[in-house]
Chain A
Amino acid sequence: MKTWNRRTKVLLLTAVMAALLIALYALGALIPDDAVASSIQNAKQPPSWEHPFGTDALGRDLFLRTLKGMAVSMTIGLAASAISAVVAVLVGVCAATGSRRVDACVGWVIDQVMSVPHTVLVILISFALGRGLRGLLVGIAATHWCSLARLIRGEVMQLRSQQYVAVSRKLGRSSGWILVHHLLPHLVPQFFVGLILMFPHAILHEASVSFLGFGLPPEQPAIGIILSESMRYLSAGMWWPAVLPGLALVLIVLLVDKLGDHLRMILDPYSAQE
């Protein structure tokens, strides 16, 4: 144990966390639909060994529903943040390498997206696309790219003023060649870290929008839908459908956030010597 340095420890921890997330995801995705079928005689049972999260008003096991919902949320979150991150890279690189006018234009578009509160914008987009999965995906993807795009723009701006880029240009390389060989490789870590750090936000937004009733259809076992159903039974003292799935969501979000932080530490070359 003592021979491991900090970097090795971080690396191991990251691997464990990633494995845990993948296992959770696989578990949720593999649960068959009839495992969460309703049974009236089991309805409204508090948490027990048989049902760790209790059962809901229709007698469905909440632990299995939460796991399943988490897999759905993770799929949506991952897809939306992947789209968002790609958009961010494209937009950021365009802004930094294009003319001043392109840069100003991109800045204006970012200001515009930022000027409508995200929740309202996702509601609007989801409404425009007729609710459901597609609206949710597009809505979340359309609202999350702004800050990463700004970050990447700054990064490319800085890279462009480096000496090796100037030398490359003097040697007669085209802008496209410089972009592919000098700029984009530098953006790969930024891209992945940005993606992972965007992921928890995307999951939280997905849950919020589903909670409001705009996202997934009510028969889908998503966290937001479980929580929104739990509101109806709150005054009757049913605490478990409200507290436990939400707690699971928070834990997953914290886990992914930590994973992103660790990944950044690993990819940061300055921490290699520690």
Chain B
Amino acid sequence: MRGAGKRLACIFLGYGVKILSLLLAVSLLSFVLVTASPVDPVQQYILGLGTAVSPEQRAQLEAYWGVGQPPAQRYIGWLSRLLQGDLGQSALYRRPVADIIGERFQNSLALMLCAWVLSGLTGFGLGCVMGLYRDKWPDKILKKVCYILSSVPTFWLGLVFLLVFSVWLKWFPIGFSGPIGVQSSQVTWGQKLYHLILPAFTLSLMSFANIALHTRQKLVDVLNSEYVLFARARGEQDWALLRRHGLRNILLPALTLQFASFAELFGGSVMAENVFSYPGLGSAAAAAGLNSDVPLLLGVTLFSALFVCTGNLIANLLYGIVDPQIQEVAP
């Protein structure tokens, strides 16, 4: 038991170091990119405010970005403030970036979580159906559907859904996370959910093809194995086979894949949020880039990297801890 604990600690430590180094590199990369851009963050902030600033405020801003200092020192100064939780001020929203990210992440999380669960369940279910009926007509049709869906851009699907369900059928609102003209604090949960359905549905359609095809392949492998042949010889039928032999073998890889797909999920949500004018991190990233709001863009980039790393960490841990086969092999 002590050995297992030690092994766990080793795994955590290893991934911790790796993730820290990755995040550090992402911060360096994004800082370099932003400094290389023709946009001057100080000037842009003042422009974004649209009002005159006092010399003291300007000096404070210049101190924040380290104007006049060598690049390495600027980066270290920015990083140390970042680690203290100071992400800077957003000119676009006139609020601290940390507050904006915190608030918008709640919206994005709701959207991504709904889409993630929905795509995971439908993808897994359809993958099982495809595996069970392999090379028969349900499999062929579903495979075509998955294939086509993976070639459809998220934003176009969103546009078409918006057109069909919101403009023509009027089932769903055009966008936003609540009714227009109502304070965001007064929007009820029901209204939020109602505004969430269409973007979440769009986003989940984009990602279920991958998991369905993966599950199908795994199930086909299991069903071709000798122990399934033996089970069939004993008289087990399809669904019993799936329950007793299939699910246990294909659930973990599917779950791992689903956790490892956080990057695509986030990328998809950037598109979906922009089509549906949903106030999440993705629309903030696009707005920040278009309006040259440097601190917000940096903040969202770092946060998205953190989000993806968390997903990958969970995926790796799932394999390392839950799967007994890997436990045996791992040193």
B128-136, B227-235, B259-267, B320-328: which lies at the interface: B259-267
How close is A47's CB to chain B, nearest CB, in angstroms? 15
How close is A72's CB to chain B, nearest CB, in angstroms? 16
Whether B159 and A116, one on each chain, are in contact in the complex, defined by CB atoms closer than 8 angstroms, is: no
Decide if B67 is an interface residue (CB 8 Å cutoff).
no
Q: Which among A111, A127, A239 has the highest number of chain B CB atoms within 10 Å?
A: A127
Whether B290 and A214, one on each chain, are in contact in the complex, defined by CB atoms closer than 8 angstroms, is: yes
Chain B residues with Cβ under 8 A from A231's Cβ?
A: 159, 275
Chain A residues with Cβ under 8 A from B292's Cβ?
A: 127
Whether B159 and A234, one on each chain, are in contact in the complex, defined by CB atoms closer than 8 angstroms, is: yes
Chain B residues with Cβ under 8 A from A211's Cβ?
A: 155, 271, 274
Whether B266 and A117, one on each chain, are in contact in the complex, defined by CB atoms closer than 8 angstroms, is: yes
Whether A108 and B21, one on each chain, are in contact in the complex, defined by CB atoms closer than 8 angstroms, is: yes
Decide if A207 is an interface residue (CB 8 Å cutoff).
yes
Given contacts A125-B33, A129-B37, contact A115 B271 (CB under 8 A): no
For A126, the closest partner residue in chain B by CB is: B289
How far does the alpha carbon of A213 sit from the alpha carbon of B160 in the complex, in Å?
19
How close is B275's CB to chain A, nearest CB, in angstroms? 7
Cβ 8 A contact of B305, one of A115, A130, A214, A249: A115
How far does the alpha carbon of A251 sit from the alpha carbon of B304 in the complex, in Å?
32
Given contacts A111-B22, A124-B301, A127-B292, contact A250 B270 (CB under 8 A): no
How far does the alpha carbon of A148 sit from the alpha carbon of B26 in the complex, in Å?
22
Interface of B is mostly: helix
Chain A residues with Cβ under 8 A from B25's Cβ?
A: 112
Whether A214 and B160, one on each chain, are in contact in the complex, defined by CB atoms closer than 8 angstroms, is: no
Decide if B169 is an interface residue (CB 8 Å cutoff).
no
Chain B residues with Cβ under 8 A from A130's Cβ?
A: 37-39
Given contacts A125-B33, A253-B151, contact A119 B297 (CB under 8 A): no
Interface of A is mostly: helix
Which of chain B's residues 247-303 have a Cβ closer than 8 Å to chain A?
A: 263-264, 266-267, 270-271, 274-275, 282, 285-286, 289-290, 292, 297, 300-301
Whether A119 and B21, one on each chain, are in contact in the complex, defined by CB atoms closer than 8 angstroms, is: no
How far does the alpha carbon of A30 sit from the alpha carbon of B218 in the complex, in Å?
48
Decide if A37 is an interface residue (CB 8 Å cutoff).
no
For A247, the closest partner residue in chain B by CB is: B156
How close is A66's CB to chain B, nearest CB, in angstroms? 13
Chain A residues with Cβ under 8 A from B36's Cβ?
A: 128-129
How far does the alpha carbon of A150 sit from the alpha carbon of B77 in the complex, in Å?
36
How close is A96's CB to chain B, nearest CB, in angstroms? 21
Whether A120 and B33, one on each chain, are in contact in the complex, defined by CB atoms closer than 8 angstroms, is: no
Chain B, residues 10-34, CB within 8 Å of chain A (1/0): the string is 0000000010011001100110011
Whether A208 and B290, one on each chain, are in contact in the complex, defined by CB atoms closer than 8 angstroms, is: no
For B281, the closest partner residue in chain A by CB is: A120
Decide if B154 is an interface residue (CB 8 Å cutoff).
yes
For B311, the closest partner residue in chain A by CB is: A115
Chain B residues with Cβ under 8 A from A250's Cβ?
A: 148, 151-153, 156
Given contacts A112-B26, A117-B267, contact A227 B33 (CB under 8 A): no
Chain A residues with Cβ under 8 A from B263's Cβ?
A: 114-118
Decide if A45 is an interface residue (CB 8 Å cutoff).
no
How far does the alpha carbon of A98 sit from the alpha carbon of B18 in the complex, in Å?
22
Decide if A237 is an interface residue (CB 8 Å cutoff).
yes
Chain A residues with Cβ under 8 A from B309's Cβ?
A: 115
How close is B313's CB to chain A, nearest CB, in angstroms? 11
Decide if A242 is an interface residue (CB 8 Å cutoff).
yes
How close is A112's CB to chain B, nearest CB, in angstroms? 5
Given contacts A117-B263, A120-B266, A235-B174, contact A249 B153 (CB under 8 A): yes
Cβ 8 A contact of A213, one of B34, B153, B286: B286
Whether B37 and A119, one on each chain, are in contact in the complex, defined by CB atoms closer than 8 angstroms, is: no
8 CB contacts below 8 A, A to B, read: A120-B266, A124-B301, A128-B37, A208-B154, A212-B274, A213-B286, A242-B156, A243-B160
Which positions in A face B, CB cutoff 8 Å?
Answer: 108, 111-112, 114-121, 123-130, 200, 204, 207-208, 211-214, 227, 230-231, 234-235, 237, 239, 242-243, 246, 249-250, 253-254, 257
The 8 closest A-B pairs by CB, nearest first: A246-B156, A128-B33, A119-B267, A117-B267, A117-B266, A128-B37, A253-B151, A119-B270
